[in-house]
A and B are shown apart, each in its own frame.
Chain A
């Protein structure tokens, strides 16, 4: 089945830019979505269909997807962005949702 690979952790200083990757075979041909999950809370959709933002999500959150890598970029990182981030897509080969393993974003 289709596998999405994320780095376990990413660290960034406040005000800097965080980049979280999601690797998959020819992932650029798929639609990728990103979720933010803070401790003890449910996930929140922050980017859908590669690069669209739901209403209420700051413009600091952006996404891209090409080749074998999808990327979530968080600009001007704030302490409140510290969370786990998961990428997700639909595996049409086996008809099911696939999540990446998650990336813990630490704000230094």
Chain B
């Protein structure tokens, strides 16, 4: 049973860089695609982007200028960095496993989420 666990600082200062890691257990990171999603307080879900085991990435166009994702297949984890954060980046951040083909993209395993406050 694959499980995902987010980790990282819960508090980030404005203009600094938010850094989170998602550790994959119970399965290899070298299959599937790996996503980040966030949810501001009281609001809906926003997809940030995905990365595959080779390091290929696709980012949400609205966040592309801020976002960098990376993967470490030896440690079986992947990471998110968001630069120049503002209060608008305050959210619960989720990592998730994605099944992807040319026709669909869905997320079938999610981490519990980690709250990041920019203040």
Question: Which A residues are closer than 8 A to B by beta carbons?
Answer: 1, 31, 33, 35, 37, 41-45, 48-49, 54, 86, 88, 90, 94-102
Contacts of A102 in B (CB 8 A): 44-45
A101-B44 in contact (CB<8A): yes
Q: CA separation between A94 and B47, bound complex, in Å?
A: 13
Q: How far is the CB of A10 from chain B (nearest CB, A)?
A: 15
With A42-B113, A96-B47 known to touch, is A48 a contact of B106 (CB < 8 Å)? yes
Q: At the interface, yes or no: B74 with Cβ under 8 Å from chain A?
A: no
* Residue numbers in A under 8 Å from B60 (CB-CB): 96-97
B61 near A94: Cβ-Cβ < 8 Å: yes
Do B106 and A86 touch (CB < 8 A)? Answer: no
Q: How many residues of B are counted as interface, with CB atoms below 8 angstroms from the partner's CB atoms?
A: 22
A43:B45 contact, CB within 8 angstroms: yes
Q: Which 4 A-B pairs have the closest CB atoms?
A: A31-B104, A97-B47, A33-B106, A42-B110
Are B45 and A95 closer than 8 Å at their CB atoms?
Answer: no
> Can you show 30 pairs from A to B with CB atoms below 8 A apart?
A1-B61, A31-B103, A31-B106, A33-B104, A33-B106, A33-B107, A35-B107, A42-B94, A42-B110, A42-B112, A43-B45, A43-B110, A45-B106, A45-B107, A48-B104, A48-B106, A48-B108, A49-B104, A54-B108, A88-B45, A96-B49, A96-B60, A97-B35, A97-B105, A98-B47, A99-B44, A99-B45, A99-B47, A101-B44, A102-B45
Residues in chain B within 8 A of chain A (CB atoms): 35, 44-47, 49, 58-61, 94, 99, 103-108, 110-113
Q: Determine the distance from Cα of A29 to Cα of B112 in the docked complex, in whole angstroms.
A: 32
- Whole-angstrom distance from the CB of A93 to the nearest CB of chain B? 11
Q: How far is the CA of A96 from the CA of B77 in the complex (A)?
A: 22
Q: Give the residues in chain B near A101, CB-CB below 8 Å.
A: 44
- Which of B45, B99, B110 contacts A44, CB < 8 Å? B110
Question: What are the residues of chain B within 8 A of A54 when measuring CB–CB?
Answer: 108
Identify which of A35, A96, A100 contacts B61 (C-beta below 8 A).
Answer: A96
Contact A96 B58 (CB under 8 A): yes
Extra contacts, 6 of them, besides A31-B104, A94-B61, A96-B60 (Cβ < 8 A), are A43-B107, A45-B107, A86-B45, A96-B58, A96-B61, A97-B60
